[in-house]
């Protein structure tokens, strides 16, 4: 044991968007803030160079290659999820990929930043499924607005984001901080043709700057949002790490937190972290925030078995790690008669949402998106494997690139206590800490959603004069994890209360998508960011 | 915008050799096998590889430095590369064809076709070898991107602030015959 003792007003576990937002806000308020990050610091230029130099380019558009490589580091004390770090125990693989580096997983996110709709806080009372949130849209509207300012969101005002083509929704107190990016030829063409068939195109709000924003330049269409924006036009958590540090917060990389300690009153007294050399260090604080990602947060709580909390910290309900959700999806590839040219501009923008309606009693809501990732290398490799040479090789690379549409659908997943994160009993990292063990399955509600989405996609193929060439119905993980420290009013079936404070511990907050009571089919980052700003406000009032 | 090559182009040595040998210059290929495997290939080996590569890819301005790196990378992974190149060169020569498309129509031997595919794959993908020995040689200079240049950028080399929206028009067009410009 080390004799080093660290103390701060607030100690935050995890330097991703949520931890960094809270740290930045509390540092601005004059609080002493320590942020502990399991992974190392990374520099954008190094990640970009590693990406360009890699023989295998990892992309969300090529799910087959997940696990083949990532330009982000994998270190023994903070192994990359792109390898075999996660233990899979369930019928459906939960192969999510998060980053253990300063700045967190938003380094490689597509940057979709959606608000939830009012109805999405009330799934149970409206449709008899899943759970209601203990809070509603009105409770979060102000914080959504603040989060959009902090993260710098570009969006289309006055559209119905539910996808129903009605009046603008959800209601906004202020317009988006930045205007939408220009539409590409493909987006315009698809929107026009599918609108003619009665579908309502929705333009995704996202974190790419369309005017110089804080330190960020304007999006230059690098088409490389995942795995890394080469110029920092796209938001990522490292930007709030920089802000937090400039305001006096301390970020300590390569500090793997492995235990929280409580006392007989329920207050968290200290946490412990290990350095890569195995040395152990203690930190005391007035308030503790765990913002370590939906998989790592429950892992830490479950590892923290104490005299007063024998099932792990915050776990008197036995709900820590349970209700693991995602927006698990399917994908469909089409070949169009006319060239459409995906791959210009940013990697995503156009979606068709089906978020509201009575169908939700029986089937998952969903979002259909068209991938706009330059697919040239995949097609070239495939053609060469087929032995295509000569002029025909160039012609077919061009033809496949111009005429192939990659659709992907994201579905709502209901909270099920059986889907869960536990601690592996057999597999440990270099520090001797158990790796997360995941059990995941999907029910009839999800499958019913996929049938509805396939009807839409078949109709799309008619409207676009396109032929469906490939379907993948095999549970594609969408990297939108939620639910493992679920929010609720009842301490017997939830982990945190409506303020994201642990029911069991008055000075412990949990930040991140892990608190979400419902997954919805939408990207969860903005909701987690809004909740984080709200957490910081609560803490600021308390200390 | 197409990223500028970071590798200097067209050594005068190459053009001189091309001039001296004229047309499809495979005259010295037969000697390749006897050169032995050294880490530093003779410039003539690389030049011959470059000229062969230009025939196989239908390109006129392949880069000498890249040719050297592809040649070394491929020879490292396929020790019999010089022999395979000799056989491919002989097959092309015997076919009497002047372009890759004509050669493909003529019908290469299976071995010659396999070698041609290996070399073309390297130039197009910018990568040599198979897992786990895959090696990156070039990224933005990989020839696959030329097929869509003008319409799509090489990922991470964007066209500039909000510089998209018009109908994509690739430089390379195809009618009856390749119309590259």
Give tens-digit pLDDT for A361-410. 999 999 999 999 988 999 999 999 999 999 999 999 999 999 999 999 99
pLDDT over 70 (residue B18): no
- In A311-380, DSSP assigns E strands to 329-336, 350-354, 366-370
Quickly state the pLDDT bin for B39 (edges 50, 70, 90).
low
Minimal CA separation from A186 to chain B, in Å: 8
Chain A positions in Cβ-Cβ contact with residue B3 (cut-off 8 Å):
none
Residue A240: which of A507, A522, A536, A520 has the closest Cα? A536
Q: Which of B168, B172, B181 would you mutate first to test chain A, the one with the most A CBs within 10 A?
A: B168
Residues A230, B156: C-beta atoms closer than 8 Å: yes
Question: What average pLDDT does the segment A279-301 reach?
Answer: 98
pLDDT of residue B12: 41
Is residue A3 scored above 60 in pLDDT? no
What number of helices (H) and strands (E) belong to chain B? 6, 4
Is the peptide bond preceding residue A507 cis, with omega within 30 degrees of 0? no
Examine residue B131 and state whether it is found in any structural domain, yes or no.
yes
Q: Establish if B7 belongs to a structural domain.
A: no
Q: Do A343 and B152 touch (CB under 8 A)?
A: yes
Q: Residues A198-207: what's their mean pLDDT?
A: 98
- Residue B25 belongs to domain spanning: 12-136
- pLDDT attached to residue B180: 41
pLDDT of residue B8: 38
pLDDT bracket for residue A463 (50, 70, 90): very high
DSSP B36-104: ---SS--HHHHHHHHHHHHHHHT-S---HHHHHHHHHHHHHH-TTHHHHHHHHHHHHHHHT-SSHHHHH
Say which of A53, A345, A390 has its CB closest to residue B101: A390
The verdict on B77 touching A (C-beta cutoff 8 Å) is no
Confidence band of A275 (pLDDT split at 50, 70, 90):
very high
Confidence (pLDDT) at B20: 38
Interface test with A, best of B116, B147, B151, B163 (most A CBs within 10 A): B147
**Average confidence score pLDDT of chain A:** 96
Q: Write the ipTM.
A: 0.93
Smallest CA–CA distance from A392 into chain B, residue: B101
A56, A185, A391 member nearest B178 (Cβ)? A391
Cα gap B173→A344, rounded to integer Å: 19
Domain containing A44 equals: 5-542
Chain A residues inside the 8 Å CB shell of B142: 377
Alpha-carbon gap: A56 to the closest alpha carbon of chain B (Å): 8
Residue B31 has pLDDT above 50, yes or no: no
User: Which residues of A are identified as catalytic?
Assistant: 480
Mean pLDDT of the region A170-198? 98
- The number of distinct structural domains making up chain B is 1
Asked whether residue B181 is assigned to any structural domain, the reply reads: no
B168 and A220 within 8 Å at the Cβ level: the answer is no
Mind listing the pLDDT tens digit for each residue in A508-521? Answer: 999 999 999 999 99
Identify whether B124 is part of a domain. Answer: yes
User: Does residue B29 sit within a domain?
Assistant: yes
How many structural domains comprise chain A? 1
The answer to whether residues B116 and B109 touch, using CB atoms and an 8 Å cutoff, is no
Tell me whether residues B134 and A56 touch, CB distance under 8 A: yes
Res. A498 pLDDT band, cuts 50 70 90: very high
* Cβ within 8 Å of residue A49, ≥6 positions away: none
Question: Residue A525: its pLDDT value, please?
Answer: 98
The per-residue pLDDT for range A399-448, each reduced to its tens digit, is 999 999 999 999 999 999 999 999 999 999 999 999 999 999 999 999 99
**Residues in B 79-138 with any Cβ partner in A closer than 8 A:** 100-101, 104, 113, 116-117, 120-121, 124-125, 127, 134-136
Give me the pLDDT at residue A59, please.
Answer: 54
Using the Cβ of B170 and the Cβ atoms of chain A, whether some distance falls under 8 Å is answered with: yes
pLDDT band at A188 (very low <50, low <70, confident <90, very high): very high
Span A255-271, average pLDDT: 98
Q: Provide the pLDDT for residue B40.
A: 67
Confidence label for B67 from pLDDT (cuts 50, 70 and 90): very high
Average pLDDT, chain B: 82
What percentage of chain A exceeds 70 in pLDDT?
A: 97
pLDDT tens track for A316-342: 999 999 999 999 999 999 999 999 999
pLDDT of residue B23 exceeding 80: no
| Closest residue to A380, CB basis, from B104, B125, B170 | B125
Instruction: Assess if residue B117 is contained within a domain.
Output: yes
Q: Is the pLDDT of residue A143 over 60?
A: yes
Q: Do A398 and B139 touch (CB under 8 A)?
A: no
Question: Residue A444 belongs to a domain with what CATH number?
Answer: 3.50.50.60
Distance from CA of A273 to the nearest CA of B (A): 36
Distance from CA of A91 to the nearest CA of B (A): 29
Task: List Cα–Cα distances, A204 to A14, A61, A230, A371, B45, in angstroms.
Answer: 28, 18, 21, 12, 54
User: What pLDDT is attached to residue B32?
Assistant: 42
For every residue of A369-413, DSSP letters joined together read EE-----HHHHHHHHHHTT--THHHHHHHHHHHHHEEEEEEEE--
Q: What is the total residue count of chain B?
A: 181
Mean pLDDT, range A193-204, rounded to an integer: 98
Three-state DSSP class for A333? strand
Q: Which of A411-415, B25-29, B72-76 has the lowest mean pLDDT?
A: B25-29
Which of the two residues, A236 and B7, has the higher pLDDT score? A236
Q: Is the pLDDT of residue B77 over 80?
A: yes
Nearest-CB residue to B165 (from A182, A219, A224): A182
Tell me if B103 is assigned to some domain. yes
Distance from CA of A196 to the nearest CA of B (A): 20
User: Is B21 a domain residue?
Assistant: yes
Task: Output b/e per residue, A142-169; b: 16+ Cβ within 10 A.
Answer: ebbbbbbebbbbbbbeebbbbbeeeeeb
What residues in B contact A52, CB-CB < 8 Å?
A: 139-140, 156
- At residue A70 the predicted structure's pLDDT band, cuts being 50, 70 and 90, is confident
CB distance B156–A51 less than 8 Å? yes
- Mean pLDDT for the stretch of residues A144-151: 98
Name the residue of chain B whose CA is nearest to A211's CA. B161
Q: How far apart are CA A147 and CA B163, in angstroms?
A: 28
User: Is the pLDDT score of A473 beyond 70?
Assistant: yes
- pLDDT: is B4 or A389 the higher one? A389
Task: Give the integer Cα–Cα distance in Å for A323 and A485.
Answer: 8
């Amino acid at each position: 044991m080390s004799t080093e003792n660290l103390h701060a007003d607030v100690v935050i576990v995890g330097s991703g968007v949520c931890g960094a937002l809270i740290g930045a806000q509390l540092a601005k308020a004059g609080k002493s803030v320590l942020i502990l990050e399991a992974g190392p610091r990374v520099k954008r230029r190094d990640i970009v160079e590693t990406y360009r130099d890699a023989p295998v380019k990892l992309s969300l558009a090529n799910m087959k290659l997940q696990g083949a490589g990532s330009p982000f580091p994998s270190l023994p004390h903070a192994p990359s999820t792109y390898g075999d770090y996660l233990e899979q125990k369930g019928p459906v693989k939960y192969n999510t990929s998060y980053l253990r580096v300063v700045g967190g997983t938003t380094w490689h996110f597509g940057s979709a930043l959606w608000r939830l709709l009012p109805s999405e806080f009330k799934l149970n009372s409206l449709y008899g499924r899943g759970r209601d949130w203990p809070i509603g849209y009105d409770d979060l509207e102000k914080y959504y607005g603040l989060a959009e300012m902090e993260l710098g969101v570009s969006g289309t005002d006055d559209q119905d984001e539910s996808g129903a083509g009605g009046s603008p929704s959800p209601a906004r107190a202020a317009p988006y901080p930045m205007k939408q990016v220009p539409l590409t030829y493909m987006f315009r063409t698809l929107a026009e043709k599918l609108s003619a068939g009665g579908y309502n195109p929705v333009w995704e709000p996202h974190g790419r700057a369309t005017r110089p924003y804080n330190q960020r330049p304007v999006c230059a269409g690098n088409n490389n949002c995942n795995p890394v924006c080469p110029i920092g036009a796209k938001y990522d958590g490292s930007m709030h790490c920089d802000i937090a540090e400039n305001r006096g917060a301390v970020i300590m990389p390569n500090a793997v937190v492995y235990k929280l300690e409580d006392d007989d009153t329920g207050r968290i007294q200290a946490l412990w972290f290990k350095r890569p050399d195995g040395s152990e260090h203690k930190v005391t604080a007035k308030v503790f925030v765990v913002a370590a990602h939906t998989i790592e947060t429950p892992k830490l709580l479950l590892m923290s078995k104490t005299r007063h909390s024998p099932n792990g910290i915050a776990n008197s309900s036995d709900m820590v790690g349970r209700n693991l959700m995602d927006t698990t999806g399917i994908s469909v590839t089409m070949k169009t008669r006319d060239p459409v040219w995906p791959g210009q501009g940013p990697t995503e923008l156009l979606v068709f949402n089906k978020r509201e309606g009575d169908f939700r009693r029986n089937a998952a809501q969903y979002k259909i998106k068209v991938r706009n990732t330059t697919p040239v290398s995949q097609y070239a490799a495939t053609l060469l494997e087929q032995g295509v040479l000569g002029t025909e090789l160039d012609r077919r690379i061009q033809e496949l690139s111009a005429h192939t549409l990659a659709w992907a659908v994201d579905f709502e997943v209901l909270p099920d206590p059986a889907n869960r994160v536990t601690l592996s009993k057999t597999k440990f990292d270099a520090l001797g800490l158990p790796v997360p063990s995941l059990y995941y399955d999907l029910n009839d509600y999800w499958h019913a959603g996929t049938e509805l989405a396939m009807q839409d996609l078949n109709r799309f193929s008619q409207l676009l004069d396109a032929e469906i060439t490939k379907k993948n119905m095999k549970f594609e993980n969408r990297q939108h994890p939620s639910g493992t420290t679920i929010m609720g009013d009842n301490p017997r079936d939830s982990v945190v209360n409506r303020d994201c404070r642990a029911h069991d511990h008055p000075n412990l907050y949990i930040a991140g998508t892990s608190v979400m009571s419902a997954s919805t089919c939408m990207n969860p980052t903005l909701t987690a960011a809004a909740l984080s700003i709200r957490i910081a406000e609560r803490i600021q009032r308390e200390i | 915008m197409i990223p500028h090559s970071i590798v200097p182009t067209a050594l005068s040595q190459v053009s001189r050799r091309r001039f001296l040998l004229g047309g499809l210059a495979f005259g010295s290929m037969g000697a390749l096998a006897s050169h032995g495997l050294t880490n530093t290939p003779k410039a003539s080996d690389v030049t011959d590889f470059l000229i062969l590569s230009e025939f196989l890819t239908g390109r006129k301005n392949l880069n000498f430095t890249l040719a050297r790196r592809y040649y070394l990378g491929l020879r490292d992974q396929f020790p019999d590369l010089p022999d395979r190149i000799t056989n491919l060169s002989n097959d092309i020569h015997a076919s009497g064809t002047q372009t890759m498309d004509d050669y493909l129509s003529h019908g290469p031997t299976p071995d010659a076709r396999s070698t041609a595919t290996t070399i073309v794959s390297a130039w197009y993908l910018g990568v040599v070898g198979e897992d786990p020995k895959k090696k990156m040689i070039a990224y933005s200079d990989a020839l696959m991107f030329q097929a869509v240049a003008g319409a799509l950028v090489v990922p991470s080399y964007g066209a500039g602030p909000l510089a998209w929206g018009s109908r994509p028009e690739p430089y390379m067009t195809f009618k009856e015959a390749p119309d590259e410009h």
